[in-house]
């Protein structure tokens, strides 16, 4: 019966995504450590589900670069290096700079801050930025990561290219996975995390592309300097 099989497929697909999201959050929370190994069976038992959606979720996370697959030993959390982080920052910069350049040369005429739809979307992004900023200043890493990912995803969506938005989101998840273990070693993160989300939104709302570029450049430099200090010390 087509209706029943379709519902089963949707249910399995939803479960697959839920498991992938849950495991990603476990990595970001530091409960799954870099290099930690596990099997499909172990995860299926942990969540009380069948092996099929678990295997699919783990394959998805492997494709995103968060896990490494071993044919004989299962999966393990990918271990990133400082060089990996530098490469991610460079890739992120190329994407955001291309978006800002498109705004400058008029290729994204539909993304104008005074257009009601864009203004409303920017206001939503700014609210996300305010929450991220509060979490950063309070040193609440878990809350910051959640709002920071939403902030950049919604900001990227404004540019109207879902492929770029998805790519940027994936990069941002990878950079957080790369740095989160180092950051969680610090007893107090207050005042050490980047918190200029609203400044970036305000610069874009003013069409100050040079200002927006400078803010992103300072963000990248801040993150790289912090991680280099932590790994050296």
Confidence check: pLDDT of 107 > 60: no
HSE (CB half, 13 Å, CA atoms) of 49?
20
Confidence check: pLDDT of 10 > 90: no
Please identify which residue in the block is written with the tokens 């939104």. 201
Confidence of residue 17 (pLDDT cuts 50, 70, 90): very high
Task: Judge contact between 152 and 168, C-beta under 8 A.
Answer: yes
How many helices and strands, by DSSP H and E, does the chain display? 9, 3
* Angle at 77 (CA atoms; ends 58, 13), nearest 5 degrees: 15
Confidence check: pLDDT of 3 > 90: no
Question: 34-68: per-residue pLDDT in tens?
Answer: 999 999 999 999 999 999 999 999 999 999 889 99
Confidence check: pLDDT of 1 > 90: no
Domain ranges (residues) in the chain: 2-77, 82-232
Q: What mean pLDDT do residues 183-205 have?
A: 91
Q: What does the pLDDT read at residue 9?
A: 45
Same fold, 2-77 and 82-232: no
Task: Judge contact between 61 and 41, C-beta under 8 A.
Answer: no
Q: How many angstroms from the chain centroid is the CA of residue 131?
A: 16
Q: Share the mean pLDDT of the chain.
A: 85
Confidence check: pLDDT of 5 > 50: no
Task: Judge contact between 102 and 159, C-beta under 8 A.
Answer: yes
d(CA 207, CA 159): 14
DSSP state of 69: E
Question: 135-189: per-residue pLDDT in tens?
Answer: 999 999 999 999 999 999 998 888 778 888 899 999 999 999 988 888 888 889 9
pTM for the structure as a whole: 0.84
Q: In this structure, which topology does domain 2-77 adopt according to CATH?
A: Arc Repressor Mutant, subunit A (1.10.10)
d(CA 198, CA 207): 14
Confidence of residue 8 (pLDDT cuts 50, 70, 90): very low
d(CA 205, CA 215): 14
CATH class of the 82-232 domain in this structure: mainly alpha
b (16+ CB within 10 A) / e for 192-224: ebbbbbbbbbbbbbeeebeebbebbeebbeebb
């Amino acid at each position: 019966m087509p209706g029943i099989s379709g519902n089963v497929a949707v249910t399995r697909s939803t479960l697959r995504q839920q498991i992938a999201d849950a495991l990603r959050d476990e990595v970001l929370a530091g409960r799954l450590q870099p290099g930690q190994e596990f099997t499909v069976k172990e995860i299926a038992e942990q969540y009380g589900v069948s092996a099929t959606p678990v295997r699919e979720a783990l394959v998805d996370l492997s494709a995103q670069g968060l896990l490494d697959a071993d044919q004989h030993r299962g999966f393990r959390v990918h271990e990133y290096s400082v060089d990996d982080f530098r490469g991610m920052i460079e890739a992120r910069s190329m994407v955001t700079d291309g978006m800002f350049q498109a705004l400058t040369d008029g290729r994204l005429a539909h993304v104008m801050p005074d257009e009601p739809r864009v203004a409303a979307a920017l206001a939503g992004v700014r609210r996300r930025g305010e929450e991220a900023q509060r979490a950063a200043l309070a040193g609440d890493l878990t809350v910051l990561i959640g709002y920071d990912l939403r902030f950049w995803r919604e900001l990227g969506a404004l540019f109207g290219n879902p492929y770029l938005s998805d790519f940027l989101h994936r990069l941002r998840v990878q950079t957080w996975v790369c740095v989160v273990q180092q950051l969680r070693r610090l007893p107090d993160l207050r005042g050490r995390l980047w918190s200029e989300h609203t400044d970036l939104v305000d610069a874009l709302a003013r069409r100050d592309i040079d200002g927006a570029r400078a803010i992103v450049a300072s963000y990248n430099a801040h993150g790289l300097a912090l991680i280099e200090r932590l790994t050296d010390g």
